[in-house]
Amino acid sequence: MQMLIGYNRLLRAFAVTACLLVAPHSTQAAESRQIEITKDSDYFGFDLRTEKNVSLDQCKSICLGDNACLAFTYNPKVKWCFLKSDFNKLNQSVGSIAGKVVTQSTAAREVEDIGAPPTISFFAANLIDEARRLKRELAGLESPDSLRSLKSEGASAALNGDPRTAMEKFRLAVGMSPDESEIWAGYALSALATEPSNGQERAKFQRDATSASWFAYQTSRTKDERAQALAVMAQALEKRELSRPALQAYEASLDLVNSASVRSAYEDLKARKGFRIVNNTVDNDNAAPRICAQFSEELVKSGVDYASFVKLDNGAPQAVEAKDRQICVEGLEHGRNYTVTFRQGLPSSVGEVLPAPVSLSIYVQDRAPSVRFNGDSFVLPAKARRGIPLVSVNLDAAKVKLYRVGDRSLAQLLSGYQFLRQLDSYDISTVSEQMGAPVWQGEIEIAGNELNKEATTSFPVDEALPERKPGVYVLTAEPLVQKSDDEYGTKATQWFVVSDIGLSTYTGQDGINVFARSLETAQPLKGVKLTLLARNNEVLGEAETDSDGRATFTPGLTRGTDGMVPAVLMASQNDDDFTFLDMARAGFDLSDRGVTGRAVPKALDLYAWTERGIYRAGEVVHVGALARDDTATAIDDLPLTFIFTRPDGVEDRRLVSDSKLAGGHAIDLTLPTNTMRGTWNVSVYTDPKQPAIATQMFLVEDFVPDRIEFDLTSDKPEIAVGETANITVDGRFLYGAPAAGLALEGEVTLSTKRQWDRFKGFYFGLADEEQGEATRLPLDGLSKVDDNGKVTFPVTVDEMPSTTRLVNAAVTVRMRETGGRAVERKIDVAIQPETDLIGIRPDFAGDEVPQGGTAKFSLIASDSKGDRKELDGAQWSLVKIERNYQWYRSGNSWNYEPVTFTKAIANGKIDLRTDSEAEISLPVDWGRYRLEVETADASGPATSYEFDAGWYVSSTSTETPDGLEIALDKEHYAAGDTAELKVSPRFAGELLITIGAEKLLKTITARVPEGGTTIDIPVGEDWGAGAYVTATLFRPGEAIESRMPARAIGLKWLKVDPADKQLAVKLTPPEKISPRSTFSIPVSVENAGGEQAYVMVAAVDVGILNLTRYQPPNPENWFFGQRQLGLEMRDMYGRLIDGSLGVTGKLRTGGDGGNMAAEGSPPTEKLLA
């Protein structure tokens, strides 16, 4: 049998040599062991023990007298003998003497002991665990028979055709002598040859054969033994359908001994299970169809032109994409037959090539009839053309149905998962029967239907809905003829309202401020009726906009919990103008516009600190805190509880401070000498039963303070490839003297990244690019610092890693004290890309969109210097990442190997501009997807982004509105000053300026011409530390020019000088201080206004502060620095439907309310009434 190659040879060897195996191997070895000497060499590892003060002859004798010793290394200088339990690689070591034990029998056969076997990566860790369990099991076996008789009887049984008995004999033999490779190999082969009586036995025999082959390999000492063990291992792995490891085991065996039988088995397995095409797919429904072949192994990542291995019909294909295990041929046409040939020699990543040409004859079908809507926008401007764009392929008509969800069901709708999703039959019935009702159904004729081309048809809303009621409408569409498996699937779905009301809201500590404007004119709308609904459908409040288009809901209405949380803001005017805003959806992400800082403080604002970051046991931790309100005014008579928590999470103690020192608190904690080491926490509470209002961490460790410090600077924050950045080291001893003459060492580490600070939220480069190890470039030959503690050295990156991503160079430098202790500092230098880049920003959170939802992306192009550039005809494609599983039986269980390939879902071209971000909206079903964007030039930039479409995704958003360029004329202002705000727009329109941080402080409106303008803003007395100036420019919609209403938002932090709220504290310590001495520090406090001032002074060794990179307390920045925007901004301008797209379609049939389409033939006679 092929599976049992080498079996008979092995068993005959057992029979012939049985008489030589009367005693255990170790006993025979003692009688015939000899030492083979190699000078100037060393056997590394496998240390047994060390014998000191012995001669070389004594070293030899000791090793020969110890059966556990197989080698040694002798050091004649110190007369030490390092005994080894095994040996492997022989290293060069001048002066040393290496010796290994050889037996007389192996010497007689002139067979070399090749040492311990190397590690093999293809034998999986779980298989090794199985082998170890088997060895432990066999170690407990006992037999009255001798080892010689067990081996002899096992060999005889096998030769007489009784492998089951042979297996049992070898099983007992390996329990007695587990270090003999040939016994393990005999056990493995006998287990493979034994016919199992049931599935349980089959699994055990296969498992034991694999495990025994592992130990046959591990105990092998000669080429023949090791090659035999690997061949047996290959057969056992093949039996368990582990084809790739089996092939690798065969290859390792053949590398040692070129056996004809092993090579025959290897070639047979490779022909059946080697590198090959396992499947092919055709993406018919894509606008640009493609044929893809899936291979059994990964393709080579780079450096191979796979296009040269592919032939399409009788020529070369237009484009070939090779990725993972898949090669796709692109540039095809629908409705044609193709023959794709993959040439012999096509390489894989495992070193195998396609053994013979493979031709695939495939017909690319026409695209399946389909229909969809664009994006997840839902507001159709009322004064423009009122049509819903419907995109179809290969359809002359589509079936459409229209439903309405009433305004009082909106809270229920938005709290569920259906809104803005693509609905299936079950969802539609839920919406129709539980939330709303059907209002119309019929068919729409598709205008301009061309074979395999997308056609956009406008659904005439006014014709289907001559009268509208408050609520949201949902329109579904599907082909007239559906496949049976599509009947209950997802339908093309468009949610919409028709309105001229443009809503914007600002939610903060002062409640909800609502602004309503006409989408047509961009002017404020007076008299718009507003209703705020809670999640449980309760009416929280009602309001009506004033002449400025503004209305306010009080703060109490926004503080509800559970079902009373605000969910929907509804707006209406007249009888047929209704819209709404989802208040549960997250507000705008304006981090790209400079929103930063700490969260807006609540009524109590507490700043806490410790005087350093690390302490020794037995020292005192000094904790300070300042209690202020949200205007930075001191809060007296406020008891605070300080709770100290140990590293194990156990509370150590709690201390209470009721200080009346202008809101200042000081607490001391004395650490016991046996205190627990690690990270401690101190949390501050006004009420220990409520959450902490401040937390600080500190370390308790045994440490030695630093003695030196140095600064690391670069003359360039960014360099191009081949350009030099000059890195300067400025070192000093912490007692003041320059760190003269100290040595430096370091390296430059090149690593890739996908995000660029210039374009926040955007990703650059390919998502599926293999992430290799960081490239480390040693800084060899660094000079010592000079007498002033300084040195400058150049850093040049001459070659970039092969990547589509951005590259960062981290320059790490270590300065060593004379005692050898090092201080390390690092500085980042960005590497300028060598090519243009394409950026993708997902306009959703968490890399996930809901099943049936819409994935929205923004795209930009940049040159290598980070300046936006225009890019015409960028090619984008959305692919679904699918995974098939190759199942195989392993014993009595089934395992699988995943095979990943992609399926094209949609593609197109898009122009990228410098003045705006290009947008792509794509409906997706459940699964994992990748958006790929690249240029037509194969050498041009390419970027991709992977994301998931899941069953349910919470209502989050990273919606980022279009930007408006604004600038203030100063860095900071005093109360009463006038700030000048310069507005530089891309279009003329109506400007709304809102000023505030956690609440609205002021609003200003103005008309802005296309050339821009400057607006004066009086700085108020009540603006505290500062406020955000937010400028929103609204562009009116113009139906004649088919232009959409639009808005752009700019934002700046306006800092207000704290004036007399900030004290100026000055310390004048002596220049030199003697250790363990007492000294005085003069303190002066300016701007105190004659009031009592309290000062906390701490003197700490800078070497201690540097251990944790401690930053001194900075209450000025805490209380008067920039804060996050505490106002949540929302509007519906990013959800406008462009009603100007497409040719108006003709409707057939219809109904109103509950009256659906008429059925049957019309009457032929006059009716009587």
DSSP-assigned beta bridge partners for residue 454: 393
- The DSSP annotation for 629-644 comes to ETTS-B--S--EEEEE
Cα–Cα dist 392/376, whole Å: 17
CB 221 within 8 A of CB 113: yes
pLDDT in tens, 563-621: 899 999 999 998 889 999 999 888 888 888 888 888 888 889 999 999 999 999 999 99
Cα–Cα dist 457/1122, whole Å: 50
pLDDT band, very low/low/confident/very high, at 195 (cuts 50, 70, 90): very high
The chain-wide mean pLDDT, for the chain, equals 87
Q: What is the mean pLDDT of residues 1030-1059?
A: 85
Q: What is the mean pLDDT of residues 846-855?
A: 82
Q: Which two tokens stand for residue 820?
A: 């050898």
Do strands 1143-1144 and 454-460 pair parallel, antiparallel, or not at all (unpaired)?
A: parallel
pLDDT value of residue 897:
57
Predicted confidence (pLDDT) at residue 1035 exceeds the cutoff of 50: yes
Q: What is the mean pLDDT of residues 405-426?
A: 86
pLDDT value of residue 584:
87
Domains delineated in the chain: 2-216 (3.50.4.10), 276-364 (2.60.40.1220), 370-491+1138-1148 (no CATH), 501-585 (2.60.40), 617-700 (2.60.40.1930), 708-831 (2.60.40.10), 837-884+904-950 (2.60.40.1930), 1063-1105 (no CATH)
pLDDT value of residue 333:
93
pLDDT band, very low/low/confident/very high, at 805 (cuts 50, 70, 90): very high
Q: Which two tokens stand for residue 347?
A: 């390489």
Do strands 848-850 and 942-950 pair parallel, antiparallel, or not at all (unpaired)?
A: parallel
Predicted confidence (pLDDT) at residue 155 exceeds the cutoff of 50: yes
CB 1139 within 8 A of CB 381: yes
Predicted confidence (pLDDT) at residue 1127 exceeds the cutoff of 90: yes
Cα–Cα dist 804/814, whole Å: 31
- Closest by alpha carbon to 950, among 843, 845, 852? 852
Cα–Cα dist 421/653, whole Å: 53
pLDDT value of residue 1030:
96
**Residues near 373 by Cβ (< 8 Å), separated by ≥ 6?**
388, 389, 390, 391, 475, 477, 492, 493, 494, 923
What percentage of the chain exceeds 90 in pLDDT?
58
DSSP-assigned beta bridge partners for residue 505: 514, 1130
**DSSP type of residue 485:** G
Q: Which two tokens stand for residue 538?
A: 């309760």
Q: What is the mean pLDDT of residues 782-805?
A: 91
**Residues near 579 by Cβ (< 8 Å), separated by ≥ 6?**
379, 497, 499, 501, 503, 570, 571, 572, 1132
pLDDT value of residue 576:
84
Higher pLDDT, 219 or 1158: 219
- The DSSP annotation for 76-94 comes to TTTTEEEEES----EEEEE
pLDDT band, very low/low/confident/very high, at 702 (cuts 50, 70, 90): very high
Cα–Cα dist 270/1122, whole Å: 67
Cα–Cα dist 1132/587, whole Å: 11
What's the Rg (C-alpha) of the chain? 39
CB 63 within 8 A of CB 35: yes
Higher pLDDT, 600 or 888: 600
Q: What is the mean pLDDT of residues 1125-1140?
A: 91
pLDDT value of residue 311:
94
Backbone phi, psi, residue 867, to 5°: -100, 135
Range among 582-586, 670-674, 1146-1150 rated most confident? 670-674
Please, is 781 exposed, middle or buried when counting C-beta atoms within 10 Å of its C-beta (0-12, 13-18, 19+)? exposed
Predicted confidence (pLDDT) at residue 1072 exceeds the cutoff of 80: yes
Q: What is the mean pLDDT of residues 973-979?
A: 93
Predicted confidence (pLDDT) at residue 773 exceeds the cutoff of 80: no
pLDDT in tens, 1155-1165: 444 333 444 44
Least confident of 215-229, 805-819, 943-957: 943-957
**DSSP type of residue 1169:** -
pLDDT value of residue 898:
61
**Residues near 915 by Cβ (< 8 Å), separated by ≥ 6?**
986
Tell me the one-letter amino acid at 831.
I
pLDDT in tens, 835-848: 999 999 998 877 88
- Closest by alpha carbon to 1000, among 1023, 978, 979? 1023
Going along 558-611, which residue ranges are E strands? 566-573, 577-582, 604-610
DSSP-assigned beta bridge partners for residue 711: 730
pLDDT value of residue 158:
86
pLDDT in tens, 480-511: 887 766 667 889 999 999 999 999 999 999 99
Cα–Cα dist 1127/996, whole Å: 8
**Residues near 509 by Cβ (< 8 Å), separated by ≥ 6?**
555, 600, 998, 999, 1126
Least confident of 49-53, 317-321, 467-471, 799-803: 799-803
Backbone phi, psi, residue 102, to 5°: -125, 150
